[in-house]
Amino acid sequence: MIEFIEGNDAVVRGAIDAGCRFFAGYPITPASSILVSMMRELPPVGGIAIQGEDEMASIGMCIGAAMTGLKAMTATSGPGVSLYSENVGLAIMGETPLVIVNVQRQGPSTGSATKGADGDILFMRWVTSGGFPMIILSPENVQDCYTLTVAAFNFAERYRAPVFLASQREVGLTREAFNYEHAWAEAPTPLPRPVAAPDCVYEPHACPTPDHVSPMSPIGGPHLVRYTTSTHDQRAYLTGDPDVIEHMTNHYRRKILDHAEEMGIYEYDPQRGADTLIIAYGVCARSARGAVKMVREKGGKVSLLVLKTIYPMQRRVIKEAVAEVSRVVVPEMNMGQYVWEIRAMAPGKDTIAINRMSTTLISPEEIIAKGGLL
């Protein structure tokens, strides 16, 4: 079964198949088609979709609905993420599962509304005051838009955290053949929301060990549910006790970082004898694949690591891949962001950043030339 659809359409299909039953969003290019499709596609499966009066309202409604038992998603672009920022912090503090699609565009500010970029990578990583780990997945094609959306819902539910899908215009609005059978085979099985037993004494943030994630109970269900934006204990009551605060802040951090490898989605394609490794994500991974193909066809050697999970960082595989080479090439459609993470993990290596923020794609030829691959 094949359809010729855009990445944003595949996000909608993935969300519905993952069990998303609440969507709120505010129109913004190039994410609007997700809102428009959800308004049409979600109600027939028993879901609720609404256009909020602004971005704050849209993500706020999603958080309210998520705590009332529905898997929720919102979609925006960079300027909308600016307005989501405070509520992403709330979702971290309140341990709310939520999928946020960011179809990035050229920035800063209004930038070029209809042109692509990957300028929000570190912005999404550090989106909240306080600074806590984020889960960020980056699709490179229409199939990824489906499978990573399903994965994003699973991670959101499993770790009770907001998850970004770091799409961008060049992925979200590019039309390609979407193969349903491949999508169903590749996507993880949608995870039902873990729910607390009706007869238990419910504590919304129970975490006997810092990395433990407790099941939820929906507002209006068998337990009285408390939720708060303030620093709180495991019962969700405000606390000033430094020991409790330390335990809870470790919890938000370690429930993500201690489980980083469980969230690892990547493709490592090493070539024996290669001295250069390309590390790429998103649309640049496509150009990187093109470059690798051309180099190998001409007898050159190069290894490739495509990261679909860009956060939490996949430290083990990155370290292993980097250890095999003396040179690392990182192409990005921004002025150099993820390359700093790679540099920190590749001391002593010659790390080459290939950057472009001109609204045009980085080509395979440019990667070959600037990366000195042939």
The residue ranges that bind another protein (CB under 8 A) are 1-4, 22, 24, 29, 40-41, 43-45, 48, 50, 52-54, 56-70, 72, 86-87, 90, 113-114, 170, 173-177, 180, 218-230, 237-238, 283, 286-287, 289-290, 293, 360-361, 363-364
Give the nearest distance from C-beta 338 to another protein in angstroms: 19
Give the nearest distance from C-beta 339 to another protein in angstroms: 20
> Helix, strand or coil for residue 169?
helix
Nearer CB in complex with another protein: 15/322: 15
Give the nearest distance from C-beta 259 to another protein in angstroms: 27
**How many residues are recorded in the chain?**
374
Give the nearest distance from C-beta 67 to another protein in angstroms: 7
> Helix, strand or coil for residue 9?
helix
- The one-character DSSP state at 45 is G
> Helix, strand or coil for residue 152?
helix
Give the nearest distance from C-beta 94 to another protein in angstroms: 8
Nearer CB in complex with another protein: 186/258: 186
Nearer CB in complex with another protein: 68/249: 68
Give the nearest distance from C-beta 4 to another protein in angstroms: 5
Question: What is the dihedral sign for C-alpha 42, 47, 51, 55?
Answer: negative
Give the nearest distance from C-beta 208 to another protein in angstroms: 24
Tokens 């209004």 label which residue? 110
CA 155 to chain centroid: 10
Q: Which of 255, 259, 345 is nearest to 305 (CA)?
A: 345
Q: Which of 26, 24, 54 is nearest to 38 (CA)?
A: 24
Cβ atoms within 10 Å of 68's Cβ, excluding its own: 14
Give the nearest distance from C-beta 202 to another protein in angstroms: 11
CB 274 within 8 A of CB 324: yes
6 token code pair = 């855009």
Nearer CB in complex with another protein: 134/225: 225
7-18 and 32-41 helices, crossing angle to 10° = 40
Nearer CB in complex with another protein: 48/352: 48
| 39 vs 37: CA distance, rounded Å | 5
Q: Which of 18, 55, 69 is nearest to 227 (CA)?
A: 69
Give 236-242's long-range contacts (Cβ < 8 A, gap of 24+): 236/203, 236/204, 236/205
The continuous run of DSSP H or E covering 310 comes out as: strand 309-311
Nearer CB in complex with another protein: 7/119: 7
Nearer CB in complex with another protein: 205/286: 286
Nearer CB in complex with another protein: 59/325: 59
